[in-house]
Amino acid sequence: MIAPVSTRPVEIAPSILAADFLRLGAQVSDALDAGVRRIHVDVMDGHFVPNLSMGPLVVSALRPLAEHAGAILEVHLMIAEPDRYLDTFRHAGATAMTVHVETCPHLHRTVGAIRGLAAQPGVAINPATPVAALDEILPDIDVALVMSVDPGFGGQAFIPATIRKVARLRTELVRRDLEHVEIEVDGGVEPENIGALADAGMTIAVAGTSVFDPRAPVGQNVRALRAACAARVVSSSPSASATPLPGSSRP
């Protein structure tokens, strides 16, 4: 029997940036009904990134839906000085908060503040930021977010070099016995690349356009992403995975 490359299922985290805002509650409910347990909320300030999006009011509006389903509401803070808003987002209902290494000169303090609010701390790196930028903070975080597009907009093309970055990060987590840290990838994730990302060591896939693509129901889109992961695992042959990535075979 061919050993699977990865047996740990990848969690799909729909990014509501791509949802139909006129029907936001219904769209999120559809995702939750499909088994999603992590909702990704993109917060943009027109300063760190060249776009404006949503804030704590949207988080508090979604809170009852998430709590009813036992789902995590994750805010991706693409904003300057995120420390100023952690408390506000936590009180709005965010249970996971991800900040960018590029915006946080005192990252341990910021991560400690998120932990102090009883939320999952995450740290993101932009495509041009090396994995090594996470070295000192890895033991303190729950989620390492590897951006696969420059943040600021949904619907951008996936940057293929991300797959190598994810593999490097997975190797580092294995080497340091930090495999509990989730590797999340955000930007341009779709059925065509999700399998390769899973093989490289991704554990959470943020997906906006591919989940809220109006050509099919949300639940069907979520299942298509899961199926693309599963198909990749099943079809991997020993030759295709002659040198399995460290940590890619997880219970």
Catalytic residue numbers, as ranges:
42, 186
Question: Cα separations (Å) of 233 from 7, 219, 229?
Answer: 8, 21, 6
201 versus 208: smaller Cβ distance to ligand DX5: 208
Write b or e for each residue in 96-127: b if 16 or more Cβ atoms lie within 10 A of its Cβ, otherwise e: bbbbbbbbbeebeebbebbeebebbbbbbbbe
Of 2-10, 62-70, 127-135, 202-210, the segment contacting ligand DX5 by CB under 6 A is: 202-210
List 11, 30, 172, 186, residue binding Zn ion (CB under 5 A): 186
231 contacts: CB under 8 Å, gap ≥ 6: 195
How many other CB atoms are found less than 10 A from the CB of residue 4? Answer: 18
Which residue has the CB atom at the shortest distance from Zn ion?
Answer: 76
String of DSSP letters for 7-19? -SPPEEEEBGGGS
Q: Does 129 help bind ligand DX5 (rule: CB under 6 A)?
A: no
Q: Backbone phi, then psi, for 235, in 5-degree steps?
A: -85, -5
Round to whole Å and give the CA distance between 212 and 28.
10
Give yes or no for residue 12 binding ligand DX5 (CB under 6 A).
no
According to DSSP, the β-strands at 204-207 and 96-100 are unpaired
Among 31, 36, 41, 42, binds Zn ion (CB under 5 A): 42
Question: In this chain, which of 11, 45, 184, 186 binds ligand DX5, going by CB under 6 A?
Answer: 186
Q: Which residues contact 207 (CB under 8 A, 6 or more apart)?
A: 12, 13, 14, 15, 189, 190, 194, 225
Q: How far is the CB of 76 from ligand DX5 (least distance, A)?
A: 5
Residue 214 exposed, middle or buried by CB count within 10 Å (0-12, 13-18, 19+) = exposed
Considering only 4-12, 23-31, 160-168, 187-195, which stretch makes contact with ligand DX5 by CB under 6 A?
187-195
Among 35, 152, 219, 244, binds ligand DX5 (CB under 6 A): 152
Rule CB under 6 A: is residue 189 a binding residue for ligand DX5? yes
Out of 61, 209, 219, 223, the only residue in the binding site for ligand DX5 (CB under 6 A) is 209
- Considering beta carbons, is residue 20 or 136 the nearer one to ligand DX5? 20
- Which listed residue (56, 93, 187, 201) binds ligand DX5 by CB under 6 A? 187
- Sign of the CA dihedral with 31 first, then 33, 38, and 43 last: positive
Segment interacting with Zn ion, rule: CB under 5 A, options 46-54, 164-172, 179-187, 219-227: 179-187
Q: Does residue 126 bind ligand DX5 (CB under 6 A)?
A: no
- Out of ligand DX5, Zn ion, none, what residue 189 binds, judged by CB under 5 to 8 A for its kind, is ligand DX5
Cα angle at 168 between 157 and 107, to 5 degrees? 85
| Residues near ligand DX5 (CB under 6 A) | 15, 17-18, 40, 42, 76, 149, 151-156, 186-189, 206-210
